[in-house]
Every structure is written in C-alpha cells, then in structure tokens.
Structure 1
Amino acid sequence: MATPPLQPPPPPPAPIVGPQYCAPFPIDLGMVRKLISITEGNFAVSDSSGNEIFKVKRVFNLIHTKRALVDAAGNTILTFKQKKITAHSRWQVFRGESTEPDDLVFTARTSSMFQLKTKLHVFLAGNKSERTCDYRVEGSWAARSCSIYVGESNYMIAQMHTKHTIQSMAIGRDTYAVTVYPNIDHAFIVALVAILNEIDHDKKDKE
C-alpha cells in the first residue's frame, strides 16, 4: 500500500495586532511579573537579548478595571477592559487607547466560573456569535505552563514555561518565558498572557 503524502502545515493565522509583530522565526519572550509593585507597571516583557519591548501598565479608572499594553517608547498598543457582572471572567481588548466598540480587537473569557485548570477562550471582534472560539489557552497558570492554540484544533502557536532565577526570587519577582512560533503575532500573545495574569489576581483577591 502506498504511503499517503504528507499534508502541508496549515498557513499561519493572520496578524491580530499588526504584521510588525510577526517574525519568520520563533521568538522567546521573557516575562517579569512584579509580585509586590509600587510602580505603574504590572510586568515587563523582554526579548532574548534582554531588551524591554513591552510593558503592561495599570490605567486608573473608577468604573472598570483597565490595563494597557505599551511598547518600548511608551506608545499604547492595546487597552484591556474587564467586563463586570458576568458569569465568566471576561476581558475586552481594544486598539490603542480606545474602548469604543469599533476598535474592539478581541474578547477573552474563561470557559467556566470554576475551573481547576486554566482554559481561556478567545473571540476575534468579527466573531459576534461566539459559538466557537478563534483561539484558546489551556494548561496550568499556577505552574506557568500554558499553550495557545488556534480554535479547537491542535495547532499550537505559542507555549509558556517557567524561568526562575535566584535573582528573581530574591527580589520578589516571578519570571517566566513564552516561546512564540514563527509568523505569529507576539503582541497578541503577550496580551493573552496579561489577561491570564489579571484573572489570577482576581481569583486570589476572592479567596
């Protein structure tokens, strides 16, 4: 019996935030989350050379919990807004400093109110029905071991893993890394990790 031909890999998904955040090779990003923070930054993101390329900042607002993803020059790339009074932990992500519906990029929510393992469903702005997710995150946030997939497929686009150092533990910081696969929008991946970070904080506040 003839061996069936190998199927070519699926094409990479289109950039979510922008093509400038896609590279034709894997990218390793280092995340430094400040466990005790007196500054405006929630955590910083560095490339493999140690250059800080993103930062997640708190945006002070009396009505909504808001965060911003900014680049190295301080320009706001995305704004995150948490939706209150929902059955799931739900975040909306907008382009730039806007929170207008026309600037919505994607929505992310937990798969259920109570979950032992991390599972986040992501719906792009054009997916109004939200019957099936465009992306999903699965794994264990507690172990800093999560994978990001396209839809309900096994097509993995990024993977998160721990990266503890003696220095990071001594100064009260949690350091971990994310490997973003070729031609995947790494600003989008950082945004998802930022949302997981916020969901974890909310969970701890309620305990």
Structure 2
Amino acid sequence: MASSFQLAPSPQPVGIFGPYIARETVTLVLREKVMSLTGDSFEIKMQNGQPLMRVEGKLMSISGRKSVTDLNGNHLFDLVKKHLHIHATFVAEDKSGKELLTVKSGFTLLGSKATATFTSLNGVATTLKMKGNWFDSAAEIVDEATGAVVARIDRKLLSGRDILFGQQTYALTVAPNVDMALMVAMCIAMDEKNNESGGGFLG
C-alpha cells in the first residue's frame, strides 16, 4: 500500500536483500520498544495490515540478539549488539555470522543519529545517515552518496486504525529502489539504543 506521501525513487539500488527492494513508495508499521524482556515475537506489517517479516527475540542473550525471518521462517539476518565500542554499534549477520551491515548510533542535542555501512547488491560500498528529532517525532534516512532520502520515520502518518497495531507504533516509509528489510534493521538498531537510554526511538 502506498504511503500518504510519496518518496522519489533512489537513483541507485540501496539494499542487501533483493526480494525486499520496494517497487513503489511503501509504508510499514513498526512497534516502538520492539522487544521486551519476555523475548516475544511479532510481525512487521504493511500499512494495510499485510505481514511482511517476523522478528524474534532471544531470551537471556548478552548481545541482545534479534532474529528476523520472512513469513516462511527463512532466516534473513540476526541483529546483534557489539560491545566495547565508544558509540553503540549493532551488526546484521547472516546465518554463518558474516556481517552484512554495521549501524553505529550516537546522540545530537535535540535527537538521535545513526550511520549504517554495507555493500549494496550492485557491489557499491554504501553509507546511510539517519537523523531524528524526538520533539517532531520524525527522522529521515539519507544516502550519503546521492543525497536521496531513502526512508522516513514518522508517527504522525498513522491514523487511528493503524494505531490499533499497538499503543506505541510508528510509520516507516521506504522509497522505491530501496530495501525494506535493510531499513527495518536500522530502525531496530536505533530503537534498541534508545531503549537503553530510557526511551523509545521516537519517544
């Protein structure tokens, strides 16, 4: 389902997981504070309620490991926190433990920021920057090479019907030619970092 507003297509493919490259502007609904101490699992859904992928927490995991699968249970990636870093660092790993994506987060005066680095499907080393303003409850993810906005996070887009997914939800709008699973990984990493600091991503 298309978003309430449209994002321009990325001038180059941005992503790791080919089947999840958006063909049009797509809005997903994500839960804030995505994992609880009970290690519950849940589905990430399209704005129309159609499930897209599943997130599962690992109980008693020191690294706070989160496994993300498709709806058939096929493994996409594990998101793992790396310790002994000045800035909170998360990596997305495949089944063999190979690092697919690195997300480093930090704080600005009025919000939060993150940098994601990975090798895209076309073999290009890619850096994405995410900056959010907690007071506006919004953030954008920008491709450093092209300056294109590849995704936007915004609570204000959600209608009352969408909020039925949960009391704390936000919309992730992904531009055409951009990997939805990759954008989800960035959001989970930022959410985890901000939960450690006593608040949700858009809190």
Moved more, 71-80 or 190-199: 71-80
Provide the residue aligned with 1:91 in structure 2: 90
Provide the residue aligned with 1:154 in structure 2: 147
Question: How many angstroms does 1:204 deviate by?
Answer: 1.2
- Unaligned runs of 5+ residues in structure 1 are 1-8, 127-131
Provide the residue aligned with 2:75 in structure 1: 76
Provide the residue aligned with 1:6 in structure 2: none
Q: Does the aligned pair in 1 maintain the 2:35–2:57 contact within 8 Å?
A: no
Moved more, 60-69 or 82-91: 60-69
In the alignment, the residues of structure 2 paired with residue 120 and residue 28 of structure 1 have an alpha-carbon distance, to the nearest angstrom, of: 21
Counterpart amino acid of 2:74? N
Q: Does the aligned pair in 1 maintain the 2:77–2:92 contact within 8 Å?
A: yes
Runs of 4+, deviation exceeding 3 Å: 33-44, 60-63, 112-116, 141-144, 164-169
Counterpart amino acid of 2:184? V
* Residue correspondences, number: 185
Instruction: Indicate the SS of the match to 1:193.
Output: helix
Question: How many angstroms does 1:65 deviate by?
Answer: 2.0
Q: Does the aligned pair in 1 maintain the 2:129–2:142 contact within 8 Å?
A: yes
Counterpart amino acid of 1:199? K
In the alignment, the residues of structure 2 paired with residue 134 and residue 82 of structure 1 have an alpha-carbon distance, to the nearest angstrom, of: 19
Larger Rg: 1
1:150-189 paired onto structure 2 within 5 Å: 150-151=143-144, 154-162=147-155, 163=158, 165=160, 168=163, 173-189=167-183
The structure 2 residue matched to 1:104, chosen from 96, 99, 112, is 99
Q: Does the aligned pair in 2 maintain the 1:22–1:185 contact within 8 Å?
A: yes
Instruction: Indicate the SS of the match to 2:169.
Output: strand
Instruction: Indicate the SS of the match to 1:204.
Output: coil
Counterpart amino acid of 1:45? I
Is residue 29 from structure 1 mapped to residue 28 from structure 2 by the alignment?
A: yes
User: Structure 2-normalised TM-score?
Assistant: 0.76
- Unaligned runs of 5+ residues in structure 2 are 1-8
In the alignment, the residues of structure 1 paired with residue 166 and residue 10 of structure 2 have an alpha-carbon distance, to the nearest angstrom, of: 41
Provide the residue aligned with 1:4 in structure 2: none
Please, what is the CA RMSD of the aligned residues?
Answer: 3.1
User: Structure 1-normalised TM-score?
Assistant: 0.75
In the alignment, the residues of structure 2 paired with residue 201 and residue 80 of structure 1 have an alpha-carbon distance, to the nearest angstrom, of: 15
In the alignment, the residues of structure 2 paired with residue 38 and residue 137 of structure 1 have an alpha-carbon distance, to the nearest angstrom, of: 27
Counterpart amino acid of 1:11? P
Moved more, 34-43 or 173-182: 34-43
Provide the residue aligned with 1:117 in structure 2: 111
In the alignment, the residues of structure 2 paired with residue 185 and residue 176 of structure 1 have an alpha-carbon distance, to the nearest angstrom, of: 18
- Where relative contact order (Cα < 8 A, 6+ residues apart) is larger, the structure is 2
